[in-house]
Structure 1
Amino acid sequence: MSHVKNVMTEISPDDSALRDRLADLLRAERLDPQRRGDWLLIDEAFPALRAHRDQGALCVELTLYDGRVIRERFAAQGGLMAFSDGPLRVFLSAFWERHNPGLVARDVWKRADGPWLAITGPYLREASSGEAAPVPYRLFGMVQDFVREAALDDDLHWLSMQVSVVEGQAHVFVQLDNIEQPDLADTLRSLDWPRDARTHAMRNFMLLARS
């Protein structure tokens, strides 16, 4: 439990309802979460999961076996559902033997240092009105090219993407292991995102595991 203690920060008592809702999401997948402080564990083992509010946003954190922490931020309104529809699907597939092939892709990507398993969650898309626009067809290939050249020193890494298109301008935020990747963001910004009068949003999460 030392890793959980090491990354603990003060959580408001108001976040207890969030923790309960997070536990319900896990139980819906036939898992039995145990509470350890503000964290939830499955079968008394890592990884550990928690959700809390941070500066008006929802922050979901997953502590890995080695003490590193995956952090994903969402809008306060509807954020837990976005987590459930996106990163949680990847976590379930990677850590808790709850793989859904209709939502999560598991592909082997070859790099100079050997094969890696890419576990890619669904592309969550929405628009201010009407049907959400499709994801640019070159997006997946550009991300794959980035991963093939990225410095991956550990056996597990994660990549998070968020895109918003407002008044025809694409805003892209990409992180590898919680570290912003401005060069990849600039590359993805050049893709054929929708340029109509609506506001669009897309996010995606993936894990990369050394095979």
Structure 2
Amino acid sequence: MTRPVTIALDAMGGDHGPAIVIPGAALTLERRPDARFVIFGDEGQVLPLLDQHPKLKAVTTFHHTEVSVKMDDKPSQALRYGRYKSSMWRAIDATKTGEADVTVSAGNTGALMAMSKFCLKSMPEVDRPAIACLWPTVRGESVVLDVGATIGADARHLVDLAVMGAAMARVIFDLDRPTVGLLNVGVEEIKGVEAVKEAGRILREL
């Protein structure tokens, strides 16, 4: 039996904000009745929607925030005016403080990555965050990263991605030793750019 999870939710994130986010949270609650929510957003927009979903409202702690990150904001802009007070930052901070187990935002990806790095910090020796997704394969599902947080990577960064991806696979797939692979132009070790070949050598040695 899975343990209850508390989700910090940036209600203002995405192209349509609370109009999509709140019904999405209600759908999550249908699938995970043990879920709890900490929602951050503008009360004038969020509370009327929560009233339409009484079951969701009953398991939600709501925090009013007047500042929200726009989808076209540059990460530096979002950090400048949204740090400590935007719905995105406060949702991330809820995970940092332990009020929530996880943060979900459909908002500006660049701002989300920048705020997460500033608020949560990185693990020792991990320089850059990554965006991960699940890809279906003939054997099931795989964790694939990075899918958008950065352009280009050296060998060390590719190894970091492998370590983070393996850790995620251990948690969500309950695997003791996940298989790690490099996406390359071919299976032969002599193929690919130097960074990929060097990362492959390091991973084999590890």
| TM bracket (short chain) | under 0.3
TM-score, normalised by the number of residues in structure 1: 0.26
The structure that has the greater radius of gyration is 2
Structure 2 length normalisation: TM-score?
0.27
- Higher strand residue share: 1
